Amino acid sequence: MIPVRGVEGQTVLILGLGRSGLTAARAVAAGGGTPLCWDDGAAGRQRAEEEGFTLHDPTRPGALDAVSLLVTSPGIPHLYPAPHKAIAAALRAGVPVDNDIGLFFRSLATGDWDRFDVAPKVVAVTGSNGKSTTSALIAHLLASAGREVQLAGNIGRGVLDIDPPGDGGVVVLELSSYQTDLARALTPDIAVFTNLSPDHLDRHAGLGGYFAAKRRLFAEGGPDRAVIGVDEDEGLFLAGQLSVGPADDRVIRVSSGQKLGGPGWSVSARKGFLSEMRKGRQTASIDLRGVRGLPGAHNHQNACAAYAAVRALGLAPRTIEAGLHSFSGLPHRSQLIAEAAGVTFVNDSKATNVDSAAKALQAFQRIRWICGGLEKEGGLSALHPHFGSVLKAYVIGREAEHFALELGDGVESEICGSMEVAVARATAEATSGDTVLLAPAAASFDQYDNFEQRGEDFTARVRAALNT
């Protein structure tokens, strides 16, 4: 655990008692503070009481009089579309509001670090798509090279729940826009921006607010190195803001699909080959086409970002290449489930928006596509240019008929409704060379609690169909 620093003798209110909230309460207590806990749900309050924490309703008159800090869970709105009433009350009372990410960054470094030969490092990864895979891949590459590493944040353990890093240790954090938007301290040694596409727009009052939340990771603390995906205008803009000139190698530009030039430091993937360029010369090249855990151009972008981050930490190209080949991928993210009679089954349940689904459709040929669910804003028109590799769509979800209409005439579709029917129909019709791909292009909440549950259902149905 990382004890929270600067709270000794203070009363800290913890709002939201899921994984990050309860961990924050424990870490505040470990730092000598007095945590008071609240959750709008009875189950959360019960968990806190079972651990011996004191419940404290922050919306009651005078409830914040003795509170020095409010720590909120990332899922609770603090500004848009409207602040939670407890956060609004804290802001009116002048009580600072933070989250566990802010507490982590202000508490990580201790006097013990003076005895280390190499100070620990923090790599923080944000972006719209690929940040989980990129974070996990960075951690995997470091572990494969024998480095001490911990993976936390929006993936793995809560940030305050990890062990204090040792001599030369690295902490890899995946950070969502909800986490970067509010954290009062953001000081990673290396910050990574994968890409940007519209998401969570209601929470950030539009695309500009969403980008601003991501940008805080780079603007607040000034990382020693910034790895920036420049395939969108926002990434180009961010790289330009952080760099003092074309040869500034504190910014590593990353791209998938275009070769980057110039005198600076860049890592790009084109036609399946990763190239590292420094000072106008190619310094390394890796063939990504045989890396089974990273299929498709979108995963090649993830590979470039992870490669750049670990190169900045001193790993050699050949060491990185070996680590890439041993990476098996993450569950529900272009995850290879099975191969039978020449048919490949891939679980990309994490493709919950149109942009991520489009990348999945570009990663494979001869696709039997299982899609559908709770459609997000903007419709499905952006998917239409990527239907060329789709043999047929098998549509699930409570509104499968509407979803199928949104697909239009560009692809043959069958309304299946349930995952069971979709997997059975796709498996029955698939022939050698086909890929049965779950890439829903929609949220899961109409039929499942989360995308993980949806992916697990797909996996179970595939294995049942194949009798494996």
CA distance 369 to 435: 8
CB 434 within 8 A of CB 343: yes
**CA-closest candidate to residue 87, choices 33, 28, 39, 15:** 15
Strands (E), 198-351: 225-229, 251-256, 265-270, 273-278, 281-287, 335-340, 343-347
Q: What distance in Å separates the CA atoms of residue 266 and residue 252, rounded to the nearest whole number?
A: 5
Sign of CA dihedral 60, 65, 71, 76: positive
Rounded to 5, what percent of the chain is helix, strand, coil?
40, 20, 40
Annotated binding site for ATP: 127-133
Find all residues with CB under 8 Å of 220, minimum gap 6, and list them.
183, 185, 186, 187
Helix (H, G, I), strand (E, B) or coil at 411: coil
Parallel, antiparallel, or unpaired for β 265-270 and 273-278?
antiparallel
Strand partners, 438: 347, 370
Most distant CA pair in the chain, distance: 69
Residue 290, C-beta contacts closer than 8 angstroms, at least 6 positions apart: 325
CA distances to 193, 221, 422 from 237, in Å: 12, 18, 42
Binding residues: 127-133
> Strands 343-347 and 367-371: what pairing?
unpaired
